[in-house]
Amino acid sequence: MRVDPFTVSVPDEVLTDLRERIGRTRWPEAAPGEAWSQGVEVGYLRELLAYWADGFDWRAAERELNRYRHQVAEVDGVRIHFVHHCGSGDERTPLILTHGWPSTFAEMLGLVDRLGDRFDLVVPSLPGYVFSQRPAQVGVDRRYVAGMWHRLMRGLGYERYGACGGDFGAGVATHMALLEPERVIGIHLSTPEMEPYTGPGTPPLTGEEQAYLAQLSRWEETERGYSAVQSTRPQTLGYGLNDSPAGLAAWVLDKWRSWSDSGGDLDGTFGRDSLLTMLTLWWATDSITASMRDYYDNRWHGSPIGPEDRVRVPTAMAVFANEFVPEGQVPRSWYERLYQVRRWTAFPRGGHFAAMEQPDLLAGDIAEFFGGLT
């Protein structure tokens, strides 16, 4: 496998076009009722976009991103981008860290800073996200990407390795363990991405599990609309998001606010420059539409968990307090239907984007788990 160096570099004309488009935004009127109750509040977004156009220093953000070692490789005929960090010492454990939606590889860079001494770290961009191409076909689901990641890791010279992730990244890590368990030392998950099989022949749901599923159902009634659209009409939605910086920012940041333990304070939790770094990566690569195909492919062409599926490699679950439903409603028994849970850590704070919200907690949990396996 050929591996080439890569540098994050956005042309000046792309940034100029971005600023001009922000200046031509046609703003809707403010929604009646409580702020944010119908989506992103217009006053917040106007202020953010004004800063994106005239205050945000993308070149400084670019230099920060390029502190890391970026590479690209061809996997299954498509270009895959990844950050590759080699630790020090002779007993380093290789780990692949996979982000989810609506996120990018940049979410995981804080973990590189905290784990880089003890581990070799590979942080890929999912197919269709920012600098990674997406295969021009349907069926690029979690299992498909898991196979790609195995080939990527072998191409980099790693025979055995661990896998970590949240959101789609947790699903990819799960399928890596199902596909080639002999290569996977263990998996570490920070979100409950995969639902276990609960059909004929499985134990009845416990009271805790029933309460969890009921609360998850209530969450889906108010939060799942994005998924319904992205899994049925990602192309139609993509025209608006790919053409409007305001549309892109509103669609993505709505989820970062709702799913995080931010208390409604996006800027205070993540930092305005970090949010705009992510948005600029999306914008400059025209990749938001391709990323949403994850929902279409996994819904209609995906590989569901079946009655014979069981993750038999050691699994760690990091359960963050604001991960969609309260921590107390996520029973360990639910995970144990699918995984060999070796480590279970419930954190009193943090949410869906734990690698950015609570990087110290998450990195410490990853290090302790894999340190105990080797």
Contacts of 155 (CB under 8 A, 6+ apart): 1, 3, 73, 75
Check which CATH number belongs to the domain holding 99 and give it: 3.40.50.1820
* pLDDT for 328 beyond 60: no
Q: For CA atoms 113, 122, 270, 262, give the dihedral sign.
A: negative
pLDDT in tens, 33-73: 999 999 999 999 999 999 999 999 999 999 999 999 999 99
**More confidently predicted of 329 and 315:** 315
The pLDDT score that the predictor gives to residue 322 is: 86
The domain in which residue 138 lies consists of 3-29+39-195+211-371
Contacts of 349 (CB under 8 A, 6+ apart): 261, 320, 321, 322, 357, 358
* pLDDT for 146 beyond 80: yes
Q: How far apart are CA 179 and CA 195, in angstroms?
A: 17
Which residue's structure tokens are 């969609």? 324
Cβ–Cβ < 8 Å for 349, 322:
yes
pLDDT in tens, 200-224: 999 999 999 998 999 888 889 989 9
Assigned domain for 203 exists: no
Assigned domain for 99 exists: yes
Q: What is the secondary structure of 36-72 as a DSSP string? A: TTTSS-HHHHHHHHHHHHHT--HHHHHHHHTTS-EEE
* pLDDT for 327 beyond 60: no
Assigned domain for 206 exists: no
Assigned domain for 144 exists: yes
Give the mean model confidence (pLDDT) for residues 176-182: 98
CA atoms within 13 A on the CB side of 245: 27
**Overall number of domains in the chain:** 1
- Predicted model pTM: 0.97
The pLDDT score that the predictor gives to residue 234 is: 98
Q: How far apart are CA 240 and CA 247, in angstroms?
A: 7
Cβ–Cβ < 8 Å for 65, 106:
yes
The pLDDT score that the predictor gives to residue 18 is: 98
Give the mean model confidence (pLDDT) for residues 231-249: 98
Assigned domain for 63 exists: yes
Q: How far apart are CA 323 and CA 345, in angstroms?
A: 13
Assigned domain for 205 exists: no
Q: How far apart are CA 119 and CA 136, in angstroms?
A: 34
Question: In this structure, which amino acid lies at residue 311?
Answer: V
Assigned domain for 71 exists: yes
Q: What are phi and psi of 230, to 5 degrees?
A: -70, -25
Residue 88 binned pLDDT confidence (cut-offs 50, 70, 90): confident
The pLDDT score that the predictor gives to residue 326 is: 53
Longest Cα–Cα distance of the chain, Å, equals 61
* pLDDT for 374 beyond 80: no
Quote the percentage of the chain above a pLDDT of 70.
98
Cβ–Cβ < 8 Å for 242, 304:
no
Distance of CA 220 to the CA centre of its chain: 19
